[in-house]
Amino acid sequence: DSGVTQTPKHLITATGQRVTLRCSPRSGDLSVYWYQQSLDQGLQFLIQYYNGEERAKGNILERFSAQQFPDLHSELNLSSLELGDSALYFCASSAGLAGPETQYFGPGTRLLVL
Amino acid sequence: AQTVTQSQPEMSVQEAETVTLSCTYDTSENNYYLFWYKQPPSRQMILVIRQEAYKQQNATENRFSVNFQKAAKSFSLKISDSQLGDTAMYFCAFMKRRGRDDKIIFGKGTRLHILP
């Protein structure tokens, strides 16, 4: 158990819908990262937050957005869903700027868009 | 931009044998980390081993060790006395050290089968 929690574990929805994925980082970690694992694109970085602020962005679609709240949990919002958004979405956390830099991954949320 | 290449899409070895997974990377950075992550059928991403680029000594974690060749930009993983539970997808990964952009860049993975 990495200490990173993600909910829900599975999500099945229809095209055009909007979903929210939730992540709670390890206790004390300030940085949260979101990654997408799909069959054709592999594991790709989406976005990072540090202590509530966006810190880095990857190839995140405009239909996707995220935020980190004062209690440090993070949410990834996916809207106008398409079939190609079906993937495993991981959240990872690390201590942040001053601490150990290893990222620990949550169990992932498996999204299926029908 | 950094890239990570794993040239072996799939491998199979007998239980108790030693297996080496290959990884090469490309970067102009001098300070970085390299990782091997394991993804078993449960799909959980598990950190296997970490290497800091400024350290010359190869990292080891029990049956897992790496051969880090900085000049050649090579980072292979050796699994000794392989066990059935080692069956998984293994990802080689790169991360800049203490940079604003500290995302992890993953290779495509090597699917490892340990045969009984």
Question: Measured between alpha carbons, how far is residue B61 from residues B44, B51, B65 in Å?
Answer: 19, 11, 6
Q: Report whether pLDDT(A98) > 70.
A: no
Cβ–Cβ of A42/B101 closer than 8 Å?
Answer: no
Residues of B with CB under 8 A from a CB of A: 33, 35, 37, 42-47, 50, 91, 95, 97-98, 100-109
**Regarding beta strands B110-115 and B10-14, do their DSSP bridges make them parallel or antiparallel, or are they unpaired?**
parallel
Q: According to the model, what pLDDT value does residue A110 have?
A: 97
Out of B44, B50, B108, closest to residue A42 by CB = B108
| Average pLDDT, integer, range B87-92 | 97
Range with lowest mean pLDDT among A28-32, A93-97, B21-25, B63-67: A93-97
**Chain segment B55-87, per-residue pLDDT in tens:** 989 999 999 999 999 999 999 999 999 999 999
Out of A56, A97, A105, closest to residue B45 by CB = A105
Question: Measured between alpha carbons, how far is residue A54 from residues A63, A74, B24, B30, B79 in Å?
Answer: 16, 11, 30, 25, 38
B16: left (phi over 0), alpha (psi -120 to 50) or beta: left
- Which two tokens mark B25? 């990377």
**Cα A107 to Cα A109: distance, rounded to the nearest angstrom:** 7
Pairs of residues, one from chain A and one from chain B, whose beta carbons lie less than 8 Å apart: 55
Pair B108, B39: CB distance under 8 Å = no
What confidence category does residue B100 fall into, taking pLDDT thresholds of 50, 70 and 90? low
**Chain segment A75-91, per-residue pLDDT in tens:** 999 999 999 999 999 99
Pair A74, A5: CB distance under 8 Å = no
Q: Find the residue in A nearest to B51 (Cα).
A: A102
Out of A56, A58, A102, closest to residue B100 by CB = A56
Amino acid at A27: S
